[in-house]
Amino acid sequence: MKDEVQTPEDRAAGLKGMGCSRKRVEDVRFTQGKGNYVDDIKLDGMLFGDFVRSPYAHARVKSINSEEAMKVPGVVAVITAADLEPLGLHWMPTLAGDKQMVLADGKVLFQGQEVAFVVAEDRYAAADAVELVEVEYEELPVIVDPFEALKSDVVLREDTVDENGKATDGAHGPRNHPNHIFTWEAGEEAETNAVIDSAEVVAEETMYYHRTHPCPLETCGSVASMDKVTGKLTLWGTFQAPHAIRTVVSLISGIAEHNIRVISPDIGGGFGNKVGAYSGYVCSVVASIVTGRPVKWIEDRMENLMTTAFARDYWMKGKISATKEGKITGLHCHVTADHGGFDACADPTKFPAGFMNICTGSYDIPTAYLAVDGVYTNKAPGGVSYRCSFRVTEAVYFIERMIEVLAIKLNMDAAELRRINFIKKEQFPYQSALGWEYDSGDYHTAWDKAMKAVDYDGLRAEQAQRVEDFKAGKTRSLMGIGLSFFTEIVGAGPVKNCDILGLGMFDSCEIRIHPTGSAIARLGTISQGQGHATTFSQIIASEIGIPADDITLEEGDTDTAPYGLGTYGSRSTPVAGAATAMAARKIRAKAQMIAAYLLEVHDDDVEFDVDRFVVKGAPERFKTMKEIAFAAYNQAIPGIEPGLEAVSYYDPPNMTYPFGAYVCVMDIDVDTGVPDIRRFYALDDCGTRINPMIIEGQVHGGLTEALAVALGQEIAYDEMGNVKTGTLMDFFLPTAWEVPNYETDYTVTPSPHHPIGAKGVGESPHVGGVPCFSNAVQDAFRAFGLTHTNMPHDHWRIWKTANDLGLHD
């Protein structure tokens, strides 16, 4: 076949492969309201489940009386821990190696804890009955402060102490107090202390990274359908890791794994909230088994904010040492981590504080030590990574604040301090003091580009003038310049050190080429808005020369998709994206043999050219992928079995380390505390860029979630353990009105170990954005003596900072 019309460039463009801003294939459904989210699933005879929840943060449950509730027309069952106990399902394992009550087993440990599960014909009847379940509580002393918890005689978890009241060993080793969960360390303590003790300059700071919540717009939910005839359980739900859920359901329920089909339908945002296993999932399954009918459970917003998967809640104490010239010599970090009533953090098993040990950041810090103590309190369990890899947001916030604090101590410009401490390009792969091997980076180039783009020197001059004007009474507005340079660690991860509940964190892709040259691909991940169906098809298009538009991409059905660990921690592109490229390359290798046979030359005499194999030196002789696909199925080729498909399970050799340079310029009204974000510049380096449009969209979204966290979003408790921010009235989600337009930019430093050099981007803007917004607020007050103030910087707290500094006098 001759193809004289199209140049290779034309042919490549027609594929809509990597590097182009392909429009999303998902959007045709979503813009017409044709998405299929879990609450859209409606099965014949389906019942609805709803929880009776504890109003107390710590109490004994003395009795539960469901007599009146059962009289409500339409109520089918009220399930309590006593009903679950014979099945061994009244407790369930958490992702962190702890266990958690599915329904209150004699006591409750946080406000909103699940006490009973009402099953009814519809959600109104269920809600009516929830009101009528009588629960008798005996209140117990409440602890919401982790430091107090470690001193208190009040034992929160009696199941974790021996008969003498002494703490038994936990999943992560010895515990030094009944309310202590673990101590986790990285680095060299003695050496770090020695360096800091003898240093020319030492800066210290304690900072609280407040508790917040991922709050996806769709809450969590599930639909369970147990088919008693076939013995098969189908479970739809808001699962960021459907395969892991299948395995976990099998292990805790005893149902054989082949009899469980888990389906993640469209997911309305995840951000970490939908990684964990929740009581609602378990109860919907049990209720379906008990009633023989499908059972749906959908939480409301208040339940979502109060009970499922909070994020952060880290008290971080740091010391950083340097020479007088500003060269950093050592870093010491201690974290007291509030994990709530059960340790349900979502972290790889060997990392109970996630990748907090990336806290040396983007800097060449020769000596460092980190210790994290996990603590039980009467708050909701969780500790997920809200739009970040495991605890990386905390780590990056810590180091990016410590740099600012050190700059103040040194009386140095914070941009310059960063520059002289960056890991240099030629140092990669870089071995960090806390145990990571950074794959690639070019920090100086990114930083210089950012500084130039914003005219950094000009901004500082303007700021200095503003301070003078303020002091002269000419203005009541201050100007803050927020800087951050972050290094993420994503793509968990190598099976040798990354697993969750023993499940290795590889991922997968299976590609089938149809005889006419179109294809279907399935992955072990699940999109929650990232546009996987669009971008992963682009990888395949570039790798094997089939137009992206001719590829169907599916995820989320464990009966059809290959096993994988799901989507969180920006792992889809680094891991499943790599699997996609590797599976495509297997297909390409077979296609090469078929092409050589068809062209009657040796395998080595053909080469791949965009969408075909050509005979080397004779480009007019070629076979297109379409022709090869047809031949693969329909032509008897000696020594080659029919068909054209491949599967790859990819175990990454290392994490990937995306990085970026952000600058925020903010004007702050000193008298109202209202910040006005005048400019936000974000340079991201996520390695090879698959779809620039989607990357930019991810950056906008991640920055907005960063703005929220830095400037007001928190899960706050009173001293009785009452959640004070349980609705969207109190829990800050920014609107279009509060959010600025962002300027995006990039450099490209491919990952050397990833098949296509991609690093992942979804979470970078959140990780880098939080310290950038926070630094902008704090920088505005640097000239007036502020060293550090805790987030969230809502209007009142900013006003208070100004007031404490005497700026209202």
Partner 1 sequence: MSKMHVKLKVNGREVEGLAEPRTLLIHFLRENLKITGPHIGCETSHCGACTVDLNGKSVKSCTVFVAQAQEAEITTVEGLANDDGTLGVIQEMFREHHGLQCGFCTPGMITRAHRLLQENPSPTEEEVRFGMAGNLCRCTGYQNIVKSIMAASDQLNAQKEAAE
Q: Which residues bind partner 1 (CB under 8 A)?
A: 23-24, 26-35, 37, 39-40, 42, 122-124, 215-219, 266-269, 271, 298, 300-301, 528-531, 693-694, 696-698, 700-705, 727-729, 733, 735-737, 739, 741-742
Among residues 22, 175, 312, 387, the one annotated as catalytic is 387
> What secondary structure letter does DSSP report for 620?
E
State in angstroms the smallest separation of the CB of 741 from partner 1. Answer: 6
For helices 392-410 and 764-780, give the axis angle rounded to 10 degrees: 30
- The DSSP secondary-structure symbol of 198 reads T
Q: Kindly tell me which of 122 and 197 has the beta carbon lying closer to partner 1.
A: 122
**Exposure class string for 8-28: b at 16+ Cβ within 10 A, else e:** eeebbebbbbbebebebbbee
User: Residue 389 corresponds to which tokens in the numbers above?
Assistant: 């890899």
User: Any catalytic annotation for residue 388?
Assistant: yes
Q: Which residue's CB is nearer to partner 1, number 267 or number 380?
A: 267
Q: Are strands 675-685 and 743-746 parallel, antiparallel or unpaired?
A: parallel
Of 262, 275, 272, nearest to 222 by C-alpha is 262
Output the CA–CA distances (angstroms, integers) from residue 731 to 234, 284, 711, 735, in the order listed: 34, 28, 11, 12
Q: How far is the CB of 79 from partner 1 (least distance, A)?
A: 23
Query: Catalytic annotation on 240?
Result: yes
Residue (120 or 333) nearer to partner 1, CB: 120
Residue 600 contacts by C-beta under 8 Å, 6 or more apart in sequence?
none
Considering beta carbons, is residue 635 or 727 the nearer one to partner 1? 727
**Cβ contacts of residue 665 below 8 Å, gap of 6+?**
454, 459, 479, 480, 481, 482, 677, 678, 679, 680, 776
Of residues 693 and 805, the one with the C-beta less far from partner 1: 693
Structure tokens at 22: 């392909």
- Please check whether residue 112 is in contact with residue 105, taking contact to mean a CB–CB distance below 8 angstroms: no
Q: Are 390 and 347 in contact (CB under 8 A)?
A: yes
In the complex, what is the shortest distance from the CB of residue 82 to partner 1, in angstroms, rounded to a whole number? 31
Active-site annotation holds for 664: no
Residue 493: asked if its preceding bond is cis (omega within 30°), the reply is yes
Q: Return the number of the residue (37 or 208) whose C-beta is nearest partner 1.
A: 37
Selection from 700, 333, 781 nearest residue 692 by Cα: 700
- In the complex with partner 1, which residue's Cβ is closer, 463 or 774? 774
Query: Is the C-alpha dihedral spanning 523, 524, 529, 535 positive or negative?
Result: negative
Region of 74 (left: φ > 0; alpha: ψ -120 to 50; beta: rest) is: left
Task: Read off φ and ψ for residue 534, nearest 5 degrees.
Answer: -85, -50
- Minimum CB distance to partner 1 smaller for 23 or for 232: 23
Question: Do residues 129 and 78 lie in contact, with contact meaning Cβ atoms separated by under 8 Å?
Answer: yes
Distance from C-alpha of 288 to C-alpha of 233, rounded to nearest angstrom: 9
Q: Helices 532-544 & 578-599, crossing angle to 10 degrees?
A: 30
To the nearest whole angstrom, how small is the minimum distance from the Cβ of residue 218 to partner 1? Answer: 5
d(CA 277, CA 102): 10
Which residue type sits at 342?
Answer: F
Selecting among 388, 498, 509, 664, the annotated active-site residue is 388
Residues 6+ apart with CB under 8 A from 568: 240, 241, 270, 272, 275, 346, 384, 385
Rounded to whole angstroms, the Cα distance separating 28 from 30 reads 6
Which listed residue (100, 111, 113, 240) is catalytic? 240
Shortest reach from residue 693's CB to partner 1, in Å: 5
C-beta of 40 vs 200, nearer to partner 1:
40
> Minimum distance between the CB of residue 736 and partner 1, rounded to whole angstroms?
4
Backbone angles phi, psi at 706, to 5 degrees: -70, -40
Residue 294 CB, shortest distance to partner 1, in Å, is 14
What is the smallest separation between the CB atom of 660 and partner 1, expressed in angstroms? 16
CB-wise, 218 or 488, nearer to partner 1?
A: 218
Instruction: Report the distance separating Cα 127 and Cα 106, nearest Å.
Output: 23
C-beta of 240: minimal distance to partner 1 in Å?
12
- Judged by beta carbon, residue 495 or residue 739, the one nearer partner 1 is 739
Least distance (Å) from partner 1 to the CB of residue 568? 14
The active-site residue, picked from 763, 772, 778, 782, is 763
Report the C-alpha gap between 325 and 335 in whole angstroms.
28
Catalytic site includes residue 763? yes
CB of 534 to partner 1, least distance (A): 10
Which residues are tagged catalytic?
A: 240, 387-388, 763
